[in-house]
Amino acid sequence: MESNTETIENGSSDEMNDVEVAEEQQASGDWYVVQTLSGQEMKAKESIERRRALEEVDDVVFKALVPMEKVTEIKQGKKTTVSKKIYPGYILINMTLYDEQRNIHERVWNFVNDTQGIIGFIGRNPQPLSEEEVTEILAQLERDEEAARPKIEYEIGEAVKIKDGPFQSLKLSVSIFGRSAPVEVEYWQVERDE
């Protein structure tokens, strides 16, 4: 079973290339959400990309995309950046699923459903994502390429303890020293107060 995260090694990933290609091909077809087996998203994507030309569907199946985001985590005191699936269990496929009469292209339907790791389309009569949804997903992927976001596992109002910096060992929730005072700390400087 594949993990939902992958360590990014040189700060570079194929996602930027995927975003650029996805934007170029956005006008070529419609984007559909397809459900995959848990942890099989990348294998399904790679299988689609590899089989497109072999099975001669590259004229109607244009691109498969697994939306990923960079997340910065602290594990065992070390800061690491990992790539996480935004929609675990799903991939996006840019394709022409319907003909001009709104009938499903059987070869496209069968190609996608016969791909290893794919459960199937969402819904009995799959509907494409709207242009706004696609634009938002692609914009999110571009934003995530620019800077990794910290993995925040805290909720507003939750008590935390500062583990680094000048306020080390203090416990924060709403107030400090009996009165409300703003304190700026990095996300890696706090931990859950147990």
Domain CATH number, residue 131? 3.30.70.940
108 shares a domain with 54: yes
pTM of the model: 0.65
Separation CA 129–CA 92 (nearest Å) = 9
95 shares a domain with 55: yes
- Strand-by-strand arrangement of the 118-121 sheet: 61-65, 90-95, 30-36, 118-121
114 shares a domain with 181: no
pLDDT at 146: 62
Please tell me what DSSP assigns to residue 179. B
Domain containing residue 191: 153-194
Q: What is the pLDDT along the chain (194 residues), one digit of tens a residue?
A: 444 444 433 334 444 455 555 555 445 789 999 999 989 999 999 999 999 989 999 999 999 999 988 877 777 777 788 888 888 999 999 999 999 999 999 999 999 999 999 999 988 889 999 999 998 888 888 876 666 565 555 566 666 566 566 555 555 443 444 555 455 555 555 556 66
8 Å CB contact between 65 and 15 = no
pLDDT at 161: 61
Place of tokens 């995260």: 5
Beta-carbon contacts of 146 under 8 Å, excluding residues fewer than 6 positions away, are: none
158 shares a domain with 143: no
Split into its structural domains, the chain has a count of 2
